[in-house]
Chain A
């Protein structure tokens, strides 16, 4: 039996429950902004190559995040080194560590203060699932930051290596643009990154 609904031109939902006059789904009808929408892939490539993370370390995984930002691993090679002290200027939140119940409202508020488009990386087992704290008798730790805010990339490890964070940046760039290395200068000289 069919569910009630309609199919509007360009509407991404096959059976949208909202009747046409109230439907707010975007359509592909050319408007004044249409050229800008055509430029969206270019904008995405720019976003992916200039991720500005929020300076936000909750516990020991933040040490690995700092390590990834410093000279040896040097996240700057991939355009993600400008750690911002304000959520208003950041578009990537790296949740590096244990989120406990007392901290949860702050994490949520910082995420809401970030301007769109924004992405979240859960770095380390604690941010992914509560890590060693998830278990019987846990009263203070949020078991996974995705219970509070949407997460784009999960990095496991206790703590993950800085290479893990770099790989998460690559994965996020791939998610944003559809290509693993959106700008060719980020590609390694050897053919090791072929997937």
Chain B
């Protein structure tokens, strides 16, 4: 990944931590779209998108990669407090099914998504939200982030 893209991500307001070709970016909801545009302009494509239910609410996790060089960007962003989120489908059409799946499993409503019909659940179960956790078993986002490569002195994203 060119350093200019990294700089552009930081300039957009992302908290970026790079380990070789692996880049983790913590992003606020307001600047998610701007960061996604930066990644799209760098020629990256989305690998997957999913959500995690934590004590602080839902975390949306995106992974982006490059076709021609080894590089992964993990973008995590909190959903809004009312359980809604910004859809990236207008930028990356391939994310449409991933966001539909997150809508099925967690009930996150993606704004500006073209088609939020249930993908995996049947129609009568559309509000089942099976992956929402029992409130007593929720963990903090810190407990759920990768710990094995983390330098304790370094600021977590």
Contacts and interface: CB of A to CB of B under 8 A. Distances in A.
Interface string A133-151: 0000001100000000000
A139 B122 contact: no
Nearest to B129: A139
B121 interface: yes
A101 interface: yes
B130 A102 contact: no
* Contact residues on B (Cβ < 8 Å of other chain), bracket: under 10
A139 B128 contact: yes
Contacts of B128: 139
Interface string B104-128: 0000000000000000111001001
Interface string A150-176: 000000000000000000000000000
B126 to A, nearest CB: 11
A104 B125 CA distance: 13
A139 B130 CA distance: 8
A108 to B, nearest CB: 13
14 contacts: A101-B121, A101-B122, A101-B125, A102-B120, A102-B121, A102-B122, A104-B122, A139-B125, A139-B128, A139-B130, A140-B120, A140-B121, A140-B125, A140-B130
